[in-house]
Amino acid sequence: MDPSGERARNVLLLVTLTVALPSLLLTGLGAVAVSNEESASKARLERQFRPVVAKTAERFNATMDEMLAQAGAQLPSLAAWAQGAEQGGQTPPDLSAAAFAPFAVSYFVVDEQGTLLLPRPSTGEDPTSPMPAPLREALEHELGHEDKGACDRYPPIASSDAPGHCLARWAWLACQAASAAEWEAGLVGECAHLASDPLTAPARRLRSRSPSRQASPDAFVAEAREVLRALAAPTQEGSPWLQELVARDAAARLVALRRTDARVLRQMLLTRAERASLLVYMKRLAHQRDAAPATVPTANDNWARLALTTSKGGTLIGLELVPTSFDQMLTAGLPQSDLAGPTEAILYPVRRPPWWHDPTVDADKLDAAVMAEALMKKSGLAWALSLVPTDRERAINLQTRRSLLYLWALVLVAGCLVAGIVYTVRSITREARQSRLKVDFVSSVSHDLRTPLTSIRMFTETLLLGRVKSRDEERECLEVIARETERLSRLTQRILDFSRMEAGRHAYVMKEEPLADLVQQALDACRPLVEQDGFTVEKRLSPEAPTARVDRDAIVEVLINLMTNAIKYSPDIRWIEVATDRYDGGVELSVADRGIGIGRGDQARIFEKFFRVDCPRTAEVGGCGIGLSLVRHIVDAHGGRVVVQSEPGRGSTFTVRLPATAKER
């Protein structure tokens, strides 16, 4: 390796070890810091909203204390009514004004033997028995469908039943699934009471409406609230299966409404539909004696639930609380944050079934927007409280804005770093290549100088030693010496011109010159080579481009270089065409041949100094790689440009385009 190339390699290695690797390491550490910034931002928001969470939790605890106080005073009346209902004449207790009423579903009364006194359907059905599989399959198939024809696939249970009332069909399915043998025996009348169940009327009104744009969403929510009120009433004694069907149907219809009150109603309806598993759990606690009102967390069916219970004389009385129903009450007292804007509180079970999440809400976005959360101790840690901005996108932006800023800054720094490294490597590589080309140039020039000098010395010695036998041989030796001297002078002049051009010291004398004269002068200079190698030269001079303002000697040198290359690289078809023409912006001169041609990949580099195409013909003809570089220097100095069209094996055409009036330099 030459010394300059080795020096470039050492510089490249030094840059890599001292700049590139440490910078890339720092960039990696910066990326880690950016990834941690989002967590840090979320932690800052959590610290800011922690006092708000504490105050919200205090409000929840106060509400729970009020519920417990009223439960001790009012729930025993529910047990008294349930125990004396068989004697009749007793008025059901009104619990609608109780503190727990807006948040409660699934009232129950269990005596000390574990018998359910409430709910106690008048049909005699067991409210804790699971729904038959055929009915559940039909339910899953029908819920959420608006196809009115689907209802007509089931026969009515009574002649008065109007077509299209799917609830009556589901009731028929319940009877059919309960006892196929009884159904086949013709006990249709035993199920007829389901069509006149008190719950059927509000359920049918709800199904007559639609949450679509044509109907009023407020009216639909009001009908759903009536259904929930009927289902949540502690004295509701209708068919357990019909109640579950109505609850699930109403919840499925509320999915279409993207409203907070609709989400609350939906969760309460679905919780009410899951009453059976809660009742089974409570029957196991019936052995307790008198106990003060308390909240009892349960985890049956892998679902964290909360029951408010009290015990009198061995009778367990209680109800289930739904966390979502507290959301609006807790949100009403939240202050508006300067950062996040309006904020809402969301209570949810720590462990919840798959249906708990609202399908209209993006759960991932909701989790990402949580600013602060806490476990509710009054719920026995079965519930958790989250504070979430109403504008989820804004909250996520608060957490990611700074990290995104840092990320883009890091990307910018990394981009600049990579660009700097690439530029440095390319510069060093280019310098090494230039250094190598200079070495090749010196070697090539030395060879080109040595060849004519050797010829001159050899023929000079021949003359001095008197080895010439005739005047013709003497003249031949002198002609060779003159030709080689001219060749040596031309090569030396080319190197000097190139050196002056590189230094910017070459002066051009611009005059209006006939293009035909320039072409003829170049042909006269190349005639010995043309005749020696047997080339055919054609001239195609356009009368539309008679003159141009150029430096005569410089343009002639351009044509000589192009014609010399055409002669060198046309070993088979020895034909050259020199032409002049006019184009929109000025005049052009072109030299065409039918030689070996130039590949597309090399056409962009042939005008670089010292560059030579790597092919066998290049090695044969020799050269130093500055001819085309001189051509471009001269043409650029005239304000023009050089265009090459070439195809390997089919020849090349070099076109010099000069402006109508070239700049004088």
Residues 6 or more apart in contact with residue 134 via CB below 8 angstroms: 173, 176, 177
Q: Is residue 244 part of a domain?
A: yes
Tell me the residue type at 298: T
Question: Final residue of a domain: which of 249, 274, 299?
Answer: 274
Tell me how long the chain is.
665
Tell me the residue type at 462: T
Q: Is residue 502 part of a domain?
A: no
Interval 256-270: pLDDT, tens = 787 888 889 999 999
545 touches 587 (CB < 8 A):
yes
Q: Is residue 611 part of a domain?
A: yes
Q: Is residue 575 part of a domain?
A: yes
Question: Final residue of a domain: which of 274, 296, 316?
Answer: 274
Tell me the residue type at 133: A
Question: Final residue of a domain: which of 274, 299, 332?
Answer: 274
What phi, psi does 320 have (nearest 5°)? Answer: -105, 135
Residue 505 has a pLDDT of 57
Structure tokens, 230: 């009927």
Residue 308 has a pLDDT of 93
Determine the Cα–Cα distance for residues 518 and 516; give it in Å rounded to an integer.
5
Interval 358-368: pLDDT, tens = 766 666 666 76
Determine the Cα–Cα distance for residues 152 and 165; give it in Å rounded to an integer.
8
Determine the Cα–Cα distance for residues 72 and 95; give it in Å rounded to an integer.
12
Q: Is residue 592 part of a domain?
A: yes
Q: Is residue 319 part of a domain?
A: no
Residue 180 has a pLDDT of 43
Task: List strand residue ranges (DSSP E) for 251-304, in order.
Answer: 291-298
Q: In 3D, which of 76, 128, 127, 97 has the Cα closest to residue 317?
A: 76
Task: Provide the number of structural domains found in the chain.
Answer: 2
Tell me the residue type at 88: G
626 touches 498 (CB < 8 A):
yes
Residue 288 has a pLDDT of 65
Would you say the C-alpha torsion 479, 485, 491, 496 has a positive or negative sign? negative
Structure tokens, 494: 């080319």
Residue 344 has a pLDDT of 85
Find how far residue 104's CA is from the centre of its chain: 45
Angle, CA of 220, 263 and 332, to the nearest 5°: 105
Determine the Cα–Cα distance for residues 502 and 276; give it in Å rounded to an integer.
96
Determine the Cα–Cα distance for residues 381 and 379; give it in Å rounded to an integer.
5
* pTM value surpassing 0.85: no
Find how far residue 635's CA is from the centre of its chain: 50
Residues 6 or more apart in contact with residue 654 via CB below 8 angstroms: 562, 590, 591, 592, 631, 642, 643, 644
DSSP 8-state secondary structure symbol assigned to residue 341: B
Determine the Cα–Cα distance for residues 563 and 566; give it in Å rounded to an integer.
5
Residues of the chain with pLDDT under 50: 1, 87, 144-165, 168, 177-192, 214, 662-665
Determine the Cα–Cα distance for residues 186 and 98; give it in Å rounded to an integer.
46
432 touches 446 (CB < 8 A):
no
Q: Is residue 512 part of a domain?
A: yes
Q: If 0-12 CB within 10 Å is exposed, 13-18 middle and 19+ buried, where does residue 422 land?
A: exposed
> What is the DSSP track for 501-539?
HHHT------EEEEHHHHHHHHHHHHHHHHHHHT-EEEE
Determine the Cα–Cα distance for residues 301 and 303; give it in Å rounded to an integer.
5
Cα end-to-end span (Å), the chain: 41
Residue 66 has a pLDDT of 93
Domain with 615 in it: what CATH number? 3.30.565.10
232 touches 246 (CB < 8 A):
no
Structure tokens, 99: 């503190």
Q: In 3D, which of 187, 199, 207, 75 has the Cα closest to residue 143?
A: 207
Q: Is residue 602 part of a domain?
A: yes
Structure tokens, 363: 């759960």
Interval 143-158: pLDDT, tens = 544 444 444 444 444 4
Determine the Cα–Cα distance for residues 97 and 86; give it in Å rounded to an integer.
26
- Give CB contacts under 8 A, 24+ apart, made by 285-289: 285/110, 285/309, 285/316, 286/110, 286/111, 286/112, 286/113, 286/114, 286/115, 286/314, 286/316, 287/112, 287/114, 287/314, 288/314, 288/316, 289/313, 289/314
Determine the Cα–Cα distance for residues 294 and 226; give it in Å rounded to an integer.
29
> What is the DSSP track for 147-204?
-GGGGGGS--SSTTPPTT-HHHHHHHHHHHHH-HHHHHTTGGGGGGGGGG-TTHHHHH
Note down the domain range covering 258: 124-274
Q: In 3D, which of 664, 232, 618 has the Cα closest to residue 440?
A: 618
